[in-house]
Structure 1
Amino acid sequence: MKRDTIRRFGVIGGLGALASADVLFKLMKAAPASTGAAPFDVVFEQHPWRSVGPIDTATTERKLYIFDLMRDFEKRGVTTVVLPCFMSHTFIDELRANSRLEVVDIVEAARRWVERRFPAATRIGMLASAYTREKRLFERYFGAPRFDVVHPREQGGIDCVTQAVYGEDGIKAGTLRGRPVALLRRACEDLIEQGVDVIVPGMTEIALVAEGLGAFEVPIIDSNLAYAHHVLDCACAADRPGFKVGVVGGVGPAATVDFLQKIVRNTPAARDQDHIKLLVEHNPQIPDRTEHLIGDGADPTVSLYATCKKLEDGAVDLIAIPCNTAHAFVDRIQPYLGIPIVNMLTVTVRHLKEAYPGLREVGLLATSGTIESGVYRDALAAQGLRQVIPSRDLQARVMEAIYGERGVKAGFTTGQCQKDIAAAIDGLVDAGVEVIVLGCTELPLLLPGSDYTRSSGKRVRLIDPTDVLARQCVAHAMSALSANDTASAHSRCM
């Protein structure tokens, strides 16, 4: 995010009403002291909420409550979520993976505060709930080799910190003096006995009674204040979770499935989670592109545009259209979109130049609509290549193989449709071509290999634009994810 852009912070309240308000107050108070801070405004949202499960665990109700607020924040233009609840940060990755908004990490804030203000500290005393201790939340941030995390020992069978906050007369019940303060003092004294260098409250409610704890020989940081400063120091924009490819599907349906398989096949992945996010708008009702280009069929421009806009609304990063003929309409709709359409024709021609540097002529098997539109001819000519197409009679057989009663769009991949395509390939080979582009996304279903061998034994190379497009989308995604990982490692909320 640019430094002159107004940021909007969304503060999630309700998980601890007083503690959330304390973080909001300290956020506003810290703003004037934040050097170079960009302009910002704040949305504070707190809905009636009561977990049906244990109050000191990360229940499903808690997760969905936060996620619903984040969805509402996104609609209201919030860029960054402030989540003043340490327990909720045990599932921060789940929230980030399913929202466009950045959630500022409260535990990271505490760690950075300690590192900057107490650089010699190595043994950290943690005032945390039983649940976050069990989940080892703080060990993830303050763990070895830099730090050694120490928790208070139970005293007389009492977990002092959890009782101070969650007990019937605890801080969450509104008791800000008396027993909660005494329990927290006992916990701090035990940490000091264990030789800690600094004490870090791992519950936002503790800041509400900090003054009543008195002075100790080791410092106790104000985690809420640290979080407020960390939020203001966040110069990064809300990172988009992962990378999402939008697919205009249904043009045609089988070709869409083939394209998705090629996306999966070309993605370097060792597990499900390594694959790319896809959003497919499967719309077979988009009017036939060829019928419009060479006949009096309905214009598909609006349908293509509407489908792309749905993908844009779905927060995709780029759009793929696995239909060669549809690319005759790309120049019409691209200027009205805020995200790029990856041009299958352009990337295919670039692949040809890289893979076959001495190539001069390229055979093309495509619908008559694609050929009449000249989109491949122009793309090839821009790279110094000449398009070679089948004769009129053979082109009629190509169309029959695609659109005929026993053609590939009707679900056939063997029989007469294969014979028709084989005849067209033979004609192109006789014309002297050695490389043929399968310029209709249904054709790879008939010719799944990368080579075609004639009865005479002569081989010709087959180029599948669907596969080239899939690999290009994967390359974009891998590049973006790599860049995000690097940026996150060096500058996320520095």
Structure 2
Amino acid sequence: MVEKLLGVLGGMGPLASAQFMVRLTLLTPAEQDQEHIPTVLWSDPRVPPRTAARLAGGADPLPAMLRGIRGLEAAGCGAIAIPCNTAHGWYGSMRDATSLPILHIVDAAAADLARQGVAPGRIGLMGTAATLAMRLYQNKLEGAGWDCLVPDEAEMRRLVTPAIDLVKANRVAEAYPPLAEVARGLAARGARAVVLGCTEIPLGLAAGPALPFPIIDTIDALARTSIAWALD
């Protein structure tokens, strides 16, 4: 029986949080209910938009995220996973506000690159405009030897950002063509794998045919890191 209680700071967006719970369950090596990971999901979609906060002077999401952390602390959680990449732009402030470890999604993605045998070199990176602008992935992955190719501004404006919005609007199947186009474009530029650095992107890409190159699904990556923490 697993004794550690995992906290999930979710709602950013709700579908990504729900998918994280599905993948956490399916990836856990369990034979019966009692072998699964005790989890508290705090799914609060009222958190202000993270990209707007970083790039357009929108409302600060940190107070709402800290409210969720307090709730997970009160529930007795031993660690926190956040299935939202852009929210990690406030990682330092959240880490400093709690004694609980917060499992970092970029570390999880790096571990999954290694798990899939993607050697250092050129890889693709997709994410929200804010995640890319904050260089949440580039700084860490490039320090480990991976050279990150990202969509250009026109691709972000025309394809990636609208597709993320489609997933948030529950129009998941419509998000597949633009996301697949961008991922294939990164591969054509020499990317040997593509990191999906927004938890809406794997939901959109799951709605169509699998792509013919390695994909780092950050929902799965964070779920694997959470399982490793819980079973350690």
TM-score bracket for this pair, using the shorter chain length: over 0.9
CA gap of 1:374–1:323, structure 2 versus 1, over 3 A, is same
Partner of 2:35: 274
Alignment partner, residue 353 of structure 1? 114
Query: 2:170 maps to which residue?
Result: 411
Quick check: 1:320–1:342 contact (8 Å CA) kept in 2?
yes
* TM-score normalised by length of structure 2: 0.93
Q: Distance in 1 between matches of 2:38 and 2:111?
A: 25
For residue 443 of structure 1, what is the aligned residue in structure 2? 201
Q: Give the structure 1 partner of residue 19 of structure 2.
A: 258
Say which one has the larger Rg. 1
1:64-213 matches, cutoff 5 A: none
One of 136, 151, 171 as aligned partner of 1:390: 151
Moved over 2 A (4+): 353-359
Q: CA deviation at 1:392?
A: 1.4
Q: Does 1:468 align with 2:229?
A: no
Answering whether residue 97 of structure 2 is matched by residue 336 of structure 1, we say: yes
Output the CA distance in 1 between the equivalents of 2:181 and 2:33: 42
Q: Is the 8 A contact 1:452 1:462 kept in 2?
A: no
Task: Give the drift of 1:303.
Answer: 1.3
Deviations 1:353-395 (A, max 9, x none): 3433533122111110110111111111221212110121111
2:230 matched to which residue of 1? 477
User: Is the 1:353–1:383 Cα contact (8 Å) retained in structure 2?
Assistant: no
Gaps (5+ residues) in structure 1? 1-96, 98-240, 454-458, 480-494
Higher helix proportion: 2
Shift of 1:452: 4.0
Q: Kindly state the Cα deviation for residue 350 of structure 1 after the two structures are TM-superposed.
A: 2.6
| Greater RCO (CA < 8 Å, at least 6 residues apart) | 2
- Aligned residues: CA RMSD: 1.7
Tell me what 1:5 maps to: none
Shift of 1:423: 1.8
CA shift at 1:408, angstroms? 0.7
TM-score by length of 1: 0.45
Count of aligned pairs = 230
Check the 8 A contact 2:180/2:205 in 1, yes or no: no
Which residue identity is paired with 1:410? Answer: A
Give the secondary structure class of the aligned counterpart of 2:47.
coil
Measured against aligned partners, the alpha-carbon deviations of 1:387-410 in whole angstroms (never above 9, x if no partner) come to 11012111111000012xxx1100
Match for residue 132 of structure 2? 371
* 1:302 is aligned to 2:63: yes
Correspondence for 1:151: none
Structure 2: distance between partners of 1:357 and 1:271 = 33
Structure 2 SS opposite 1:287: coil
Separation in structure 2 between the aligned mates of residue 361 and residue 302 of structure 1, nearest angstrom? 37
Q: Which amino acid aligns with 1:273?
A: Q
Q: How big is each residue's C-alpha offset from its partner over 1:11-47, in whole Å with a ceiling of 9 and x where there is no partner?
A: xxxxxxxxxxxxxxxxxxxxxxxxxxxxxxxxxxxxx
In the alignment, the residues of structure 1 paired with residue 170 and residue 132 of structure 2 have an alpha-carbon distance, to the nearest angstrom, of 23
CA distance in 2, matches of 1:318, 1:422: 34
Q: Partners of 1:445 and 1:438 in 2: how far apart?
A: 10
Q: Distance in 2 between matches of 1:256 and 1:402?
A: 15
- The gaps in structure 2 that reach 5 residues or longer are none
Local SS of the residue matching 2:198:
coil
- For 2:219, give the aligned amino acid: T
| C-alpha distance in 1 between matches for 2:122 and 2:90 | 25
Answer whether contact 2:30 2:36 (CA < 8 A) is retained.
Answer: yes
Residue of structure 1 equivalent to 2:50: 289
Pairing of 1:209-248 with structure 2 (within 5 A):
242-248=3-9
Q: Percent identity?
A: 31
| Aligned partner letter, 2:83 | P
8 A contact 1:394–1:423 mirrored in 2: no
- Corresponding letter in the other structure for 2:160: V
Measured in 1, the distance between the counterparts of 2:118 and 2:198 equals 24
Question: What is the one-letter code of the residue matched to 1:252?
Answer: G
